[in-house]
Amino acid sequence: MIYYYVYRITNIKYKKHYYGSRSSKKLPEEDIGVYYFSSSKDKEFLKDQKNNPQDYKYKVIKKFRTRKEALKLEIKLHNRFNVGINESFYNKSKQTSSKFDVTGKVNCIDKEGNKVIISPKKYSNGSYTRFDTNKVHCYNKHTKNKILVTVDEFRNNRSKYYTATQNKVTAKNIFSNKIESIDEEVFNKDPKWVTPTTKIVWIDSNKRVFRRGDLLKIKVDPRYKKWANIYQQISLEEAKEYLK
């Protein structure tokens, strides 16, 4: 018998999660956290689960009769928490397609730059850029004109073209507490912008503010004790004092 289920892994020490779906011949409760530790490509995350099992909690969210049903819930959860850019999740990307029957659907790019397959009705709300099977609706960076080019042309000349939603991220301004869609470049440079669910950031001895993503870029993982004396965890409210 094959069991299909959606699971959540939680690092109870750092309040960080991972959502995934799984097919297994073992009972889900006897599989996750025992034989299986997620499909994550984060080697440190996988290693830490095995080295520090006391820091992790495993939960079977729901069991299903088919893989398709499990994938639907996984996609729903990934979209709800925006796990691809949410610093409270280990997921590096979102599951965006169950890869089943897509007859009558539209191939698009969403505002995070993910390729998704949606209904014509959802496409009509204007939040998506059309991505046809062999063509891409995009803009020429020099003329700013909207054009239609082949997928190969678009991929091989990324310096020449861009999509309407490319390089955008959903972020929260810690001063106004407003959530907006901003340029990825602005987000990366200015620590006053955080992911919508971020609750903590870090400061170093020079009182510079770092988000978790900033630390990972310089190969610092705040989950580990060796960095505790260098980077101090603070709330977003406290961070305002250092960002003025």
Average pLDDT, the chain: 83
State the pLDDT confidence band at 100, using cuts at 50, 70 and 90: very low
Structure tokens given for 101 = 């029957």
Distance between CA atoms of 129 and 190, rounded to whole angstroms?
Answer: 27
Task: Output 57 or 111, whichever has higher pLDDT.
Answer: 57
Q: Is 1 helix (H, G, I), strand (E, B) or coil?
A: coil
Among 166, 162, 128, 156, CA closest to 142? 162
pTM: 0.44
pLDDT the model gives residue 162: 75
202 φ/ψ sector (left φ>0, alpha ψ -120 to 50, else beta):
beta
pLDDT the model gives residue 115: 64
Instruction: Evaluate whether 14 touches 90 at the Cβ level (below 8 Å).
Output: no
Instruction: Evaluate whether 7 touches 30 at the Cβ level (below 8 Å).
Output: no
Structure tokens given for 129 = 């850029």
Among 56, 77, 54, 55, CA closest to 5? 77
Structure tokens given for 199 = 């609750």
State the pLDDT confidence band at 120, using cuts at 50, 70 and 90: low
pLDDT tens-digit readout, 167-190 = 677 789 999 988 887 878 889 999
pLDDT tens-digit readout, 13-43 = 999 999 999 999 999 999 999 999 998 878 8
Place of tokens 């094959």: 2
pLDDT the model gives residue 101: 37
